[in-house]
Amino acid sequence: MANMSVDDAMRRAITLAARGLGTTSPNPVVGCVLLDRDGALVGEGFHAYAGGPHAEIVALAQAGERARGGTAVVTLEPCDHTGRTGPCTAALIRAGVARVVLAVNDPDPVATGGIETLRAAGIDVRTGVRAAEAEAGNIAWLTAVRRDLPYVIWKYAATLDGRLAAADGTSMWITSEAARTDVHALRGTVDAVLAGVGTVLADDPRLTVRNLRDGSLAIRQPLRVVVDSSGRTPAGARVRDAAAPTWVATAAEVGAGPDGRVDLTALLSALYRRGVRAALLEGGPTLAGAFFAAGLVDKVVGYLAPKLLGAGPAALVDAGPRTIAEVIDLEYVDVRRVGPDLRITALPRKREG
């Protein structure tokens, strides 16, 4: 097999890591590529599910003795603690690797320390290789762990003029089946799906991950969270069925903000303690506006249909700005066609000062 550069090996490790999106939480996604002394690929792996073997362990098992004297290329600093699995640092040291190349240092205070342990064992450690790319692939987990709050993605579907529904309230279907299928794939990458009680009362959504062709459910379902300040979610609502776990979060349980409604920061903190690292905010415009007003949205994914209504509810209300000087600034990071619709991904810009 042809030799592989460390840079190419890291690119491959980042691609491998992405395979774990949606199944590793509360652990990060991690990819690992092992090169022998001559730079030939002898093992690779990714962290597939929480409690399962880490990426380094999978790659070492493939490489066997060929790992001795070789290089481990890993997207995240190898863990240095014993949790549900043993420390990856110890496994790398036992395998006799000569060098470890990593992209991003581990911000988790429990797991960090791997670099020092490896260097103390005489292993050459290089950091920061393709760091920006690896960070982007693991951004939800990294952001959540750094601040102890989940990474929040606001998803909405609207007409080109920003309407969620017609003036009479009808909204099925503004976007295409291709866009709706894409949304289910997006749900499959997060740990929780959030909706307001208003959306539950109006639309009775399931908030599950499904195959739209046959209606079958995905194996892993995110936690369904209904933000319901006064506990109005009906007993017969579809979010209360057995298809996925559900939490109806009330102000009495979570805590109330100054307006008497669920304190959203307290809600996210409680979700983090439950193991939620990425959350998808789905409905509706009032809840989304409250999240923006509190500065709690990290990413926007909008599906825009090539349709116009000219009336009906807007995609977002009461998000905070009252003048153009207070506008929430976004940076487009991806724009692409999904069937006849556009999917726009954007990140809120940080305000200076």
pLDDT digits (tens, 9 = 90+) for 127-182: 999 999 999 999 999 999 999 999 999 999 999 999 998 998 888 789 999 999 99
**Active-site residues: which are they?**
56
In a domain, 184, yes or no: yes
Residue 1 pLDDT > 60:
no
Residues 164 and 277 both lie in one domain? yes
Q: Identify the residue with better confidence: 285 or 1.
A: 285
pLDDT cut 90: percent of the chain above it = 79
Q: If you average pLDDT over residues 74-97, what whole number do you get?
A: 88
- Say how many domains are in the chain: 2
Average pLDDT (198-213) is 88
pLDDT at 253 over 80: yes
Close Cβ partners of 211 (under 8 Å, ≥ 6 residues apart)? 184, 217, 218
Tokens of 96: 């006799």
Sheet holding 278-283, edge to edge: 246-249, 223-227, 192-196, 278-283, 151-159, 299-305, 341-348, 330-338
102: three-class secondary structure by DSSP: strand
pLDDT of 18 over the 90 cut = yes
pLDDT digits (tens, 9 = 90+) for 263-291: 999 999 999 999 999 999 997 899 999 99
Whether 352 shows a pLDDT value over 70: the answer reads no
Is residue 1, in this structure, part of any structural domain at all? no
Domain that holds residue 39: 6-140
pLDDT higher than 70, residue 68: yes
Tell me: the pLDDT tens digits for 208-236?
A: 998 878 878 888 899 999 999 999 999 99
Q: Give the domain CATH number at 17.
A: 3.40.140.10
Amino acid at 290: A
Q: How many Å apart are CA 97 and CA 209, to the nearest integer? A: 41
- Ramachandran quadrant class, 134 (left: phi over 0; alpha: psi -120 to 50; beta: rest): alpha
From 140, 158, 173, the end of a domain falls on 140
Residues 43 and 104 both lie in one domain: yes
Pairing of strands 223-227, 71-76: unpaired
Question: Is the same domain home to 82 and 220?
Answer: no
Using alpha carbons, select from 39, 46, 87, 37 the residue that is nearest to residue 65.
Answer: 37
Averaged pLDDT of the chain: 92
Q: In 3D, which of 203, 129, 125, 194 has the Cα closest to residue 170? A: 203
Last residue of a domain, one of 88, 120, 140: 140
Residue of 46, 54, 51, 55 lying closest to 15 (CA atoms): 46
Task: Report the distance separating Cα 291 and Cα 297, nearest Å.
Answer: 6
Q: Does one domain contain both 163 and 292?
A: yes
pTM for the full model?
Answer: 0.90
For residue 115, name the pLDDT band (cuts at 50, 70, 90): very high
- Do 105 and 206 fall within a single domain? no
| DSSP classification of residue 150 | -
Q: How confident is the model at residue 351 (pLDDT cuts 50, 70, 90)?
A: low
The pLDDT of residue 353 is: 40
**pLDDT bucket at 108, cuts 50 / 70 / 90:** confident
**What's the whole-number mean pLDDT along residues 114-130?**
95
